[in-house]
Amino acid sequence: MSLKFAYWVPNVSGGLVISKIPQKTGWSYEDNARYAQQAEEAGFDFALLQTRFIASYGADNQLEAVALASALATVTSKLKLIAAVLPGLWHPGTIAKAISTIDQISRGRAAVNIVSGWFKGEFHGFGEPWLDHNERYRRSEEFIRVLRQLWTEEETNFRGDFYRINGAPHKPKPSVLPPVFQGGNSAAAREMAARVSDWYFMNGNTIDGFSAQIEEVSRLAAAENRKLNFGVNAFVIVRDTEEEARQVLRDIIDYADPEAVEGFRSQVQFAGKASPEREGMWANSNFDDLVQYNDGFKTGLIGTAEQVADRIIELKKIGVDLILTGFLHYDEDIKAFGEKVIPLVREKEAALLSTSAT
Ligand SMILES: Cc1cc2nc3c(=O)[nH]c(=O)nc-3n(C[C@H](O)[C@H](O)[C@H](O)COP(=O)(O)O)c2cc1C
């Protein structure tokens, strides 16, 4: 499979970095409709819409992911729309219906990213119970099983600890079964991915860090007779010289909003660090890493177009199937990535294929 490209939809304000550096990135519907059209034109395959319900760390305004995906479906024709969904604040029966509706509107381009949660403040704010780390994953797994049953079976009956479905029909069925993505790096996340997800998203990391996760999750999936696809997060800075690109990164970090980064750090400790093995997302992230919500600087897609394309090929070689990108200036960077980086990656992929064939 050729590498897939996805981009983070900036549907919350403040962009993808917790920094006061000026950004040419909007969050409104109009901006996002334009970015989605530019992205499909530029050769992106997927758009990932974030779920965030209340103000936090500079993200003062948020548009809801499922509702926005539905609108973006009407202004695009190729892009697959991955709407993030947070079990605990949604019921799987209502989300199954919403996603099947997007499947109809988009003619088969709907997908979901099931997130298991790190932001206790959202649950507290809405007066909903906050489960402990591994219980959240047990609930997410049931959520995914219910979604699939509703999308594929005539009538769904389900008896779980979190959901009970009593002979519920679901029509129309989606025309294309929506792929299930998930994030999370803890042991519970990896095990759940192996059992029920189609795609496993990783926070930014080193090549060795990604390799270890891909190997482990693939091994867990093989034990279930399953195979997964892998996506990695990366914050991309492409400039004419490596020095210019590195300077942009230094500026982003120099302008970081320390209070907001600290607030984010205090919430994300409910993720990976709260898992029984105390590993997982953000467990080892330092201040600079946390300036990008998902450790995206660590992946190293920072430099000239050639350097970035080479690094992407390194990722492909270790088994990465999808690059999830975020940018500083969406107004310019999506288009530029499509013009400068994607064609280079395609050339290098073709060369790779021909050398491996000989
Ligand atoms: C690519 C990616 C996208 C994510 N999107 C969201 C999101 O939109 N909203 C959210 O609350 N959490 C999001 N998460 C967080 C995870 O779903 C999960 O709650 C968190 O990673 C906890 O991970 P852990 O298993 O390492 O503790 C995302 C994670 C990744 C890797």
Determine if the peptide bond prior to 343 is cis (ω within 30°).
Answer: no
State the total domains in the chain: 1
Atom of ligand 1 nearest to the CA of 273: 27
Taking the centre of ligand 1 as the mean of its atom positions, its distance from the CA of residue 76, in whole angstroms, is: 26
* Contact assessment for residue 231 and residue 200, using Cβ atoms and an 8 Å cutoff: yes
Q: What gap in Å lies between CA 225 and CA 213, rounded to an integer?
A: 18
- Whether residue 259 is predicted with pLDDT greater than 90 in this model: the reply is no
Taking the centre of ligand 1 as the mean of its atom positions, its distance from the CA of residue 299, in whole angstroms, is: 17
> What count of other Cβ atoms lies within 10 Å of the Cβ of residue 63?
19
- Residues with Cβ within 8 Å of 235's Cβ and at least 6 positions away in sequence, in order, are 16, 17, 204, 292, 296, 297, 299, 301, 302, 325, 326, 327
* Per-residue pLDDT tens digits for 339-355: 999 999 999 999 998 88
From the list 322, 95, 300, the residue with the least C-alpha distance to 202 is 322
H helices of 224-290, in order, are 242-254, 258-268, 287-290
* Contact assessment for residue 210 and residue 202, using Cβ atoms and an 8 Å cutoff: yes
Side chain identity, residue 187: A
Locate 246 and state its tokens: 């590195």
Atom of ligand 1 nearest to the CA of 51: 8
Chain centroid offset of residue 324 CA:
7
Residue 287: per-residue pLDDT: 82
Q: What gap in Å lies between CA 17 and CA 9, rounded to an integer?
A: 13
Q: What gap in Å lies between CA 338 and CA 322, rounded to an integer?
A: 15
Nearest CA to ligand 1 atom 18: 184
Q: How many Cα atoms within 13 Å fall on the side-chain side of residue 85?
A: 31
Q: What gap in Å lies between CA 40 and CA 334, rounded to an integer?
A: 10
* Per-residue pLDDT tens digits for 164-202: 999 999 999 999 999 999 998 899 999 999 999 999 999
Side chain identity, residue 301: L
For range 306-313, the mean pLDDT? 98
Structural domain boundaries, residue 66 = 4-357
* Per-residue pLDDT tens digits for 196-249: 999 999 999 999 999 999 999 999 999 999 999 999 999 999 999 999 999 999
* Contact assessment for residue 28 and residue 302, using Cβ atoms and an 8 Å cutoff: no
Taking the centre of ligand 1 as the mean of its atom positions, its distance from the CA of residue 5, in whole angstroms, is: 19
The pLDDT confidence band at residue 147, using thresholds 50, 70 and 90, is very high
Residue 245: per-residue pLDDT: 98
Nearest CA to ligand 1 atom 17: 115
The pLDDT confidence band at residue 282, using thresholds 50, 70 and 90, is low
- Whether residue 116 is predicted with pLDDT greater than 90 in this model: the reply is yes
CATH number at residue 326: 3.20.20.30
Strands of 135-239 (E only): list them. Answer: 155-159, 164-169, 180-182, 199-202, 229-235, 237-238
Residue 280: per-residue pLDDT: 64
